[in-house]
């Protein structure tokens, strides 16, 4: 299977949870003749959808891990990267987005554009991913694709244009009208295998005509040829498709398709749309950083004759060891080829090269430029770059947020302890927002992540995949400390009792610093501290700031200016100045009125209007501040800022105050000051624990 570039698509299916993404994915796989039976997400037969590879996901009906699946459609090769729908797993979404060339944004015809659609769309926008929209669930009661299309424009700022109209809605949904070809499409057969193309029903003709004109109007902005043909009255379907494609690739137009994956309506035209409107790797420009040239950006070309550059974007534990999914950005990769991992600075040979299908994998000899395939038995981490040894490239380090929550875990026996180590090793490689360390004081293993649910998923995976029996502590918030006063310090470190002595004196100012975590300013004049010891002072302050004295969390937002000091020709040393700096900070820290900072989360709740009062109350009880509310006929979207420490268990609370109808998303916003009374309690708890 060596297809040329223009016939390849790497796409993602991005969606709000419960908008039917998994069902849609499976329908696509089915129609591409790769799997032989269809199952619902929570199928009665218990088989579950193919893309959900983990039990846990099956149980929750959501998709957590991204996997790449290859299908064929009308002589095109499509790789579907299944992006996770839940915001707690943002890092996985972001990584998957890196390798996409285009996306289908799935929206629910009833629920419309909800808060998570906004998050997902924003991420696609950030990576400049061209997208087409699919309004799913048109068979449901209350389906209103027109309203959803309007929301796409208003809430997400898309220039959306309908490519289809529904024939009937809700339980009367019969098919769709193709506004390009001007035909009615019906889906016949047991599993709607055949698409029958018929005349447009009389009663819809007027509306269809109007929409056809609207479509040409929107499309002609992207093609002079189409605009001219329109004036001359001889527009062809090819011209419309070409114009819409051009608008879509520039992210300036979003063609909107509709149907119901569950009822098998509109799926095949959507796959056609992927080919017609989303880019091939050839259409996309990607850049990497040249590590040999101070990380200068270099443009990659999806041409097989050039040296290979590939990104490892996903690891999975398979039956035969680690499976590494890679996206080839340039050149081609062959079995037996020697590649170079630019992070690990190690060479390795490509052993087994496989293409992943929905239900099996296929061993292949070579993979062309632009393709997404998997390697077996390679030791690497997610995000590593592979090249041949002639290039030393790396991909831009993706934005990785600092973890905001931590949890102590304790295995119950030796076997669990060993397995836990394996599991944690694996997770760290897969997900840079998941961290782990052993607390030297308590000797406990601490895991850190982006939220309660994030850590929950890993705890469950440890239990199921690695058979780890665990006891867990209470989740801990990652606090920070800072200073709020300008203070002067002057500290002399002196140990001159026999043998090699130690001497260092440093003086200067410690003050709040708003623009970053830490700034060191050297204002030493006349060499009162020799140049060689200035970095020692800097290092000492950094060390002292790793742990504040209020709660033992890192100190941030501090500017240290060193403007005086003295040294001893024999007794001064790197160590002596480091110690002096550490002691200087400790000595004046309390005078600088240290304060505790806590992570403040941006919380967006979507709730039916009838429960908005309950939601307001729940935010108020959590020390939250409501920033704004946005209300339409049915739903309120409430944006608030709430301290993370108050958000534990919020999903349960929200469910119970809204009869399960409200939902929320949460992301880290900034660090904010902890109120005095709460600070005092935290400090007291910390002091008690230390005793």
Partner 1 sequence: MVKAELIKNSPLRILEKSTHGGVGKGNIGIIAARKGVGKTACLVHIATDQLFQGKHVIHVSFSSNTSHIITWYEDIFQEIARRRDLSDAMQVHDEIIKNRVIMNFNQEGISIRQIIKSLEAMIHQGAFAADCIIFDGYSFSKGNPQDFKDLKEFAEGSKLELWFSASLSDDETDFDADGVPGVISLFMEQIAILILLNSHEGNIKLELKKDHDLTPIQNMHLTLDPKILLISRG
Q: How far is the CB of 614 from partner 1 (least distance, A)?
A: 7
**Which of 549/629 has CB closer to partner 1?**
629
Residue 203, sorted as left (phi over 0), alpha (psi -120 to 50) or beta, turns out to be alpha
Q: How far is the CB of 625 from partner 1 (least distance, A)?
A: 5
Q: How far is the CB of 639 from partner 1 (least distance, A)?
A: 8
**Which of 1/625 has CB closer to partner 1?**
625
Q: How far is the CB of 621 from partner 1 (least distance, A)?
A: 9
CA distance linking residue 554 with residue 594, whole number of Å:
12
- Cα 1 to Cα 362, 363, 368: the distances in Å are 11, 11, 9
**Which of 153/251 has CB closer to partner 1?**
153
DSSP string, 378-444: ----TT-EEE-TT--EEPPPPP-PPP-EEEEEEESSHHHHHHHHHHHHHHHHH-TT-EEEE-TTT--
DSSP string, 344-360: TTEEEE---EEEE-SS-
Contacts of residue 35, Cβ cutoff 8 Å, sequence gap at least 6? 26, 29, 50, 358, 359
**Which of 213/610 has CB closer to partner 1?**
610
**Which of 5/629 has CB closer to partner 1?**
629
98: which 2 tokens?
Answer: 């890196």
CA distance linking residue 341 with residue 378, whole number of Å:
10
**Which of 260/636 has CB closer to partner 1?**
636
By the 8 A CB rule, do 126 and 34 touch? Answer: no
CA distance linking residue 99 with residue 101, whole number of Å:
7
CA distance linking residue 665 with residue 671, whole number of Å:
18
Q: How far is the CB of 558 from partner 1 (least distance, A)?
A: 17
CA distance linking residue 273 with residue 5, whole number of Å:
18
Q: How far is the CB of 641 from partner 1 (least distance, A)?
A: 9
**Which of 16/155 has CB closer to partner 1?**
155
**Rg of the chain in Å (alpha carbons):** 29
Q: How far is the CB of 514 from partner 1 (least distance, A)?
A: 8
**Which of 427/616 has CB closer to partner 1?**
616
Taking Cα atoms as reference points, which of 630, 601, 645 lies closest to residue 112?
A: 630
Q: How far is the CB of 626 from partner 1 (least distance, A)?
A: 5
Taking Cα atoms as reference points, which of 256, 272, 246, 261 lies closest to residue 113?
A: 256
CA distance linking residue 629 with residue 451, whole number of Å:
24
**Which of 114/369 has CB closer to partner 1?**
114
**Which of 205/673 has CB closer to partner 1?**
673
Q: How far is the CB of 112 from partner 1 (least distance, A)?
A: 12
Q: How far is the CB of 157 from partner 1 (least distance, A)?
A: 9
Chain residues binding partner 1 by CB under 8 A are 154-155, 514, 609, 612-614, 616-617, 619-620, 625-633, 636
622: which 2 tokens?
Answer: 């959590």
């Amino acid at each position: 299977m060596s297809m040329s570039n223009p016939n390849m698509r790497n796409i993602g299916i991005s969606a709000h949870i419960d908008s039917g993404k998994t069902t849609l994915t499976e329908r696509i796989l089915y129609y591409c003749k790769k799997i032989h039976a269809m199952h619902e997400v929570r199928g009665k037969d218990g088989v579950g959808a193919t893309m959900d590879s983990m039990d846990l996901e099956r149980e929750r009906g959501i998709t957590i891990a991204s996997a790449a699946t290859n299908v064929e459609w009308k002589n095109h090769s499509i790789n579907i990267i299944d992006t996770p729908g839940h915001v707690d797993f943002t890092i996985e979404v972001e990584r998957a987005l890196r390798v996409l060339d285009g996306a289908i944004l799935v929206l629910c015809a009833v629920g419309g554009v909800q808060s998570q659609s906004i998050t997902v769309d924003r991420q696609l926008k950030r990576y400049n991913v061209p997208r087409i929209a699919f309004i799913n669930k048109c068979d449901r009661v209350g389906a209103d694709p027109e309203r959803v299309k309007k929301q796409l424009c208003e809430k997400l700022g898309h220039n959306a244009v309908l490519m289809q109209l529904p024939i009937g809605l809700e339980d009367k949904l019969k098919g769709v009208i193709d506004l390009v070809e001007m035909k009615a499409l019906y889906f016949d057969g047991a599993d709607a295998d055949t698409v029958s193309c018929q005349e447009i029903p009389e009663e819809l003709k007027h509306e269809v005509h109007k929409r056809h004109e609207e479509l040409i109007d929107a499309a002609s902005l992207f093609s002079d040829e189409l605009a001219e043909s329109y004036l001359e009255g001889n527009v062809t379907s090819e011209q419309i498709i070409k114009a819409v494609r051009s608008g879509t690739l520039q992210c300036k137009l979003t063609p909107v398709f509709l149907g119901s994956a569950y009822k098998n309506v509109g799926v095949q035209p959507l796959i056609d749309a992927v080919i017609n409107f989303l880019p091939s790797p050839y259409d996309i420009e990607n850049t990497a950083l040249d590590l040999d040239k101070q990380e200068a950006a270099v443009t990659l070309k999806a041409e097989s004759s050039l040296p290979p550059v590939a990104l490892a974007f996903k690891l999975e534990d398979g039956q035969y060891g680690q499976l590494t999914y890679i996206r080839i950005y340039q050149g081609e990769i062959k079995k037996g080829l020697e590649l170079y991992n630019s992070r690990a600075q190690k060479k390795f040979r490509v052993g087994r090269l496989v293409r992943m299908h929905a239900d099996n994998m296929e061993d292949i000899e070579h993979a062309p430029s632009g393709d997404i395939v998997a390697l077996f038995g390679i030791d690497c981490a997610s995000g590593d770059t592979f090249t041949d040894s002639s290039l030393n490239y790396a991909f831009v380090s993706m934005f990785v947020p600092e973890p905001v929550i931590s949890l102590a875990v304790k295995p119950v026996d030796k076997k669990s302890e060993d397995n836990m180590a394996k599991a944690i090793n694996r997770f760290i490689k897969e997900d840079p927002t998941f961290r782990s360390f052993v607390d030297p004081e308590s000797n406990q293993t601490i895991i850190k992540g982006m939220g309660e649910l994030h850590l929950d998923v890993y705890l469950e995976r440890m239990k199921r995949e690695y058979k780890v029996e665990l006891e867990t502590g209470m989740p801990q918030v990652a606090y920070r400390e800072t200073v709020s006063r300008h203070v002067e310090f002057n500290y002399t470190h002196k140990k001159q009792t026999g043998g090699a002595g130690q001497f260092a004196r440093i003086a200067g100012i410690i003050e709040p610093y708003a623009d970053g975590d830490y700034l060191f300013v050297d204002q030493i004049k006349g060499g009162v501290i020799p140049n060689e010891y200035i970095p020692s002072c800097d290092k000492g302050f950094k060390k002292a700031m790793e742990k504040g004295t209020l709660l033992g969390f890192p100190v941030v937002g501090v500017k240290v200016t060193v403007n005086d000091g003295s040294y001893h020709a024999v007794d001064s040393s790197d160590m002596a100045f480091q110690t002096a700096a550490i002691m200087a900070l400790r000595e004046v820290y309390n005078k600088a009125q240290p304060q505790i900072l806590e992570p403040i989360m941006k919380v967006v709740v979507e709730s039916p209007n009838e429960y908005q009062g309950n939601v307001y109350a729940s935010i108020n009880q959590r020390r939250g501040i409501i920033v704004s509310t946005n209300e339409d006929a049915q739903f309120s979207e409430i944006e608030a800022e709430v301290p993370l420490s108050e958000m534990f268990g919020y999903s349960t609370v929200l469910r119970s105050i809204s009869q399960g109808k409200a939902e929320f998303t949460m992301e880290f916003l900034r660090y904010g000051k902890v109120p005095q009374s709460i600070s005092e309690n935290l400090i007291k708890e910390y002091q008690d624990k230390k005793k």
